[in-house]
Structure 1
Amino acid sequence: MAFAPNVQEMVRSNPLQVPETFLVSRKEEDEPKSTAEVLDLSSKIPILDLSLLSREHKEELNKLDQACKEWGFFQVVNHGVATELLQEMKDATAKFFELPLEEKNKIRMSGGREGYGQAYAISEGQTMDWSDTLILSLYPAQSRDLQFWPTAPNGFRETIEAYSSEVKRIGEELIRSLSTIMGLEKDALLGLHKEVLQALRVNYTPPCSMPDKVLALSPHSDTTTITILMQEDNVTGLQIRKEGKWVPVKPIPNALVVNVGDALEIWSNGKYKSIEHRAVPNESRLRISYASFLFPHTDAEVGPFDHMVESSRIYKKLKFGDYMAKAIKGKLDGKAHTEMAKIGS
């Protein structure tokens, strides 16, 4: 897509340049009024222990239920992924993005949703996100399009494989816990995933000389069941919309951030919240983030479970594949796609 500029190269050639196509008007009233307000909300984002959830620890399951109802976001610790593997994934990814552009362009996106480039570059003249991406389909393994998998740096493919396999394990454990707190059989929710559909999106966000005027990732909710994110340990960029304000999700070293996706919101009839979130750039520091998306099977029915409907049914029943097809037609746009899944829309 000729109209999608490479942000990394643009910053490399002129760090002060911010083309008009990237400028957005961020509403002042959405930004928290004070540092104290930000820190207070940010410090309340729940932290859950996966080792306790996996053992069906009652108190931890209650915390998960509250986190999904009140926040739609939480951080997970004691997840069992070796610190060395997390670091290896970060190191190998950084080396990939340091490669010459012509090398990275060997796996450039070409009309589809996989490969290297600018995601959601839908039409010429649209406002662009201040980030470059690498998007790969991971599971089921037969869905992989290996022509889009990086061949450099050496060993990167194997590292992606090892990291993603661990994320899949964590995702399945969390989906079992979600099934339990929703009053279903432990493996019922996982049954709607047959083989878990899993994709990876790496976001490369260079520094920006006008960080308040651009977005690294436009506000949106995820179409997933859940999303599992690895952040940089020392650069904050992810923000969630809470009480009408944008609140930063401060990184906890080696923790993973998990958020409720649209499918879970629909199954729970809106009890669990698929929260709008965005990413902002830093004025002086590079940020790389790693979002792993876990989806139901395309043939799975998403619609409120009968026992989750307390008074009235908010969402209609539809095939997840149909929901997904509608959602990915446009640029990221807040909660627009969950609105179209509501009864009467």
Structure 2
Amino acid sequence: MPSLSKEHFDLYSAFHVPETHAWSSSHLHDHPIAGDGATIPVIDISDPDAASMVGGACRSWGVFYATSHGIPADLLHQVESHARRLFSLPLHRKLQTAPRDGSLSGYGRPPISAFFPKLMWSEGFTLAGHDDHLAVTSQLSPFDSLSFWKEMKKLAGRLFRLLIISLGLDEEEMGQVGPLKELSQAADAIQLNSYPTCPEPERAIGMAAHTDSAFLTVLHQTDGAGGLQVLRDQDESESARWVDVLPRPDCLVVNVGDLLHILSNGRFKSVRHRAVVNRADHRISAAYFIGPPAHMKVGSITKLVDMRTGPMYRPVTWPEYLGIRTRLFDKALDSVKFQEKN
């Protein structure tokens, strides 16, 4: 990852986009932007048919808006205010929490920065585990995050159960799915991201296109400040298009990650997404990631495997998969896919 202090550029007072942050047009416009006809599914997860709707959204889109999610609005506002306080601090203060000694937690550029020749128009705090969160943020802006962690983990468990039900598993079979049995031991992390206003948004990117490695990502984003886009695959007659995932009142964004793609034997789509920037709005987001305990191998659920062809993917642990992504980035998922049998 590029050094944070060397040639660091102050995004908040910028009058231009320097070459270090200037992306080629071919990268920024690799796919067209979808028109108004493309609509991300909005699902009330308290609905009796929520499992079917959530499953359908994850098969066709890999992302949906969740309503009736149970996270108190005032808690989300507190998290957003806390993030704004952190990002408003002077750079030298934020750099005091840069990751050290192998820790993932702390201030820095997007974790995917190492895979790209240009820098992104954003900064973030990675908080991998509640104790690390306190160690990082207590140095800068005290905030009791335990309630947020508990609420997000509870919501993730609720969503995960709906997804497993949508795959046709009964109660006994659900009890045999490792991640559900050990959800209380699940690994999780929070990523706070800041996307400052940009004087030349047509030359910059807030977060380059990628998929997430975890099972699920649950995202809160600033009201009124758009920027998140997902890549919507079309049929053979049309090319893929970027679709805006605009903030919606009382909604959280839920997207499928690579490990859930593997667990579902390819039924649920790990969705490619990015964040664009603009001249007018400073966007803040808080993403919660949940995955399996570090020791657990994730493979395709047996009931979903065609016995004639076998599973699509070989089992991997989350740390093992992260190691593969470190080497191969967006080709990691394909690298753990079994070759098709003739």
- Normalised-by-shorter TM-score class: 0.7 to 0.9
Q: Is the 8 A contact 2:21 2:121 kept in 1?
A: no
**Out of 249, 252, 263, which is 2:248 matched to?**
252
Question: Residue 10 of structure 1: CA displacement?
Answer: 1.5
1:102 and 2:60 matched: no
Aligned-residue CA RMSD (Å): 2.6
For structure 1, list consecutive stretches of 5 or more residues without a partner in the other structure.
none
Q: Is the 8 A contact 1:232 1:288 kept in 2?
A: yes
Letter in 2 for 1:268: S
Q: Which residue of 1 aligns with 2:317?
A: 319
Q: Is the 8 A contact 2:299 2:315 kept in 1?
A: yes
Letter in 2 for 1:319: T
**Out of 57, 65, 74, which is 1:67 matched to?**
57
Q: Which residue of 2 aligns with 1:30?
A: 31
**Out of 300, 303, 324, which is 1:307 matched to?**
303
Q: Which residue of 2 aligns with 1:39?
A: 36
1:16-54 CA-to-partner distances (Å, cap 9, x unmatched) read: 23333442433545022xxxx42211xx211111223xx
**Out of 152, 159, 174, which is 2:159 matched to?**
174
Q: Is the 8 A contact 1:22 1:127 kept in 2?
A: yes
Q: Which residue of 1 aligns with 2:185?
A: 195
Could you tell me how far apart the structure 1 residues matched to 2:184 and 2:327 are?
Answer: 25
Letter in 2 for 1:126: P
Matched residues, number: 325
For structure 2, list consecutive stretches of 5 or more residues without a partner in the other structure.
234-239
Q: Which moved more, 1:190-199 or 1:213-222?
A: 190-199
Q: Which residue of 2 aligns with 1:136?
A: 127
SS of residue in 1 equivalent to 2:92: helix
Q: Is the 8 A contact 1:298 1:320 kept in 2?
A: yes
Q: Which residue of 2 aligns with 1:338?
A: 333
Could you tell me how far apart the structure 2 residues matched to 1:63 and 1:203 are?
Answer: 29
Could you tell me how far apart the structure 2 residues matched to 1:131 and 1:148 are?
Answer: 19
Q: Is the 8 A contact 1:47 1:75 kept in 2?
A: yes
Task: Name the % identity.
Answer: 27
Q: Is the 8 A contact 1:116 1:134 kept in 2?
A: yes
**Out of 132, 135, 139, which is 1:151 matched to?**
139
1:301-345 CA-to-partner distances (Å, cap 9, x unmatched) read: 222122212463321223333112222456xx4x32111111149
Could you tell me how far apart the structure 2 residues matched to 1:60 and 1:125 are?
Answer: 39
Could you tell me how far apart the structure 2 residues matched to 1:66 and 1:137 are?
Answer: 31
Could you tell me how far apart the structure 2 residues matched to 1:194 and 1:340 are?
Answer: 30
